[in-house]
C-alpha cells in the first residue's frame, strides 16, 4: 500500500476481512485511517457488517444447541392445574 490513505479505497476483500476481524493489524490500521476520511467506505463497511450479522444470526430462529435437548413446555406438575383447566 502506498501513498495517502485517502487516495485508495478499501478493497472488497479488505473490508470483509476487517468486518470479520481477521485483517492483519497493519492493514487494519491503514483501513481505519481511510475510514475516518471516507464516508463511502464507512457506508460499505456498515452494509457489510449488517450482512455478516444476518449470516451469523439468521432470522429463522435460534440455533439448536447440541446435547441440550428441547425444553419441555408441558403443564406444571400436580393435578390441581390440570383439573382447573379441564373444567
In the complex, least distance from residue 8 CB atom to Zn ion, rounded to whole angstroms? 8
35 is an interface residue for Zn ion by CB under 5 A: no
User: Is the Cα dihedral 43, 45, 49, 51 positive or negative?
Assistant: positive
Burial of 69 (0-12, 13-18, 19+ CB in 10 A): exposed
Answer for which of 15, 19, 41, 45 binds Zn ion (CB under 5 A) is 41
| Residue 53 DSSP code | H
Q: What is the rounded CA–CA span in Å between residue 55 and residue 81?
A: 43
Pick 23 or 38: Cβ nearer Zn ion? 38
Sites for Zn ion among residues 42-81 (CB under 5 A): none
Per CB under 5 A, the segment of 6-14, 45-53, 61-69, 72-80 that binds Zn ion is 6-14
Sites for Zn ion among residues 9-28 (CB under 5 A): 9
**Footprint of Zn ion (CB under 5 A):** 9, 38, 40-41
Amino acid at each position: 500500500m502506498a501513498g495517502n490513505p485517502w487516495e485508495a479505497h478499501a478493497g472488497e476483500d479488505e473490508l470483509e476481512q476487517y468486518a470479520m476481524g481477521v485483517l492483519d493489524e497493519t492493514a487494519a490500521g491503514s483501513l481505519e485511517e481511510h475510514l475516518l476520511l471516507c464516508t463511502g467506505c464507512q457506508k460499505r463497511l456498515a452494509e457489510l457488517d449488517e450482512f455478516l450479522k444476518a449470516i451469523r444470526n439468521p432470522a429463522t430462529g435460534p440455533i439448536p444447541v447440541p446435547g441440550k435437548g428441547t425444553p419441555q413446555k408441558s403443564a406444571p406438575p400436580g393435578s390441581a392445574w390440570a383439573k382447573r383447566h379441564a373444567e
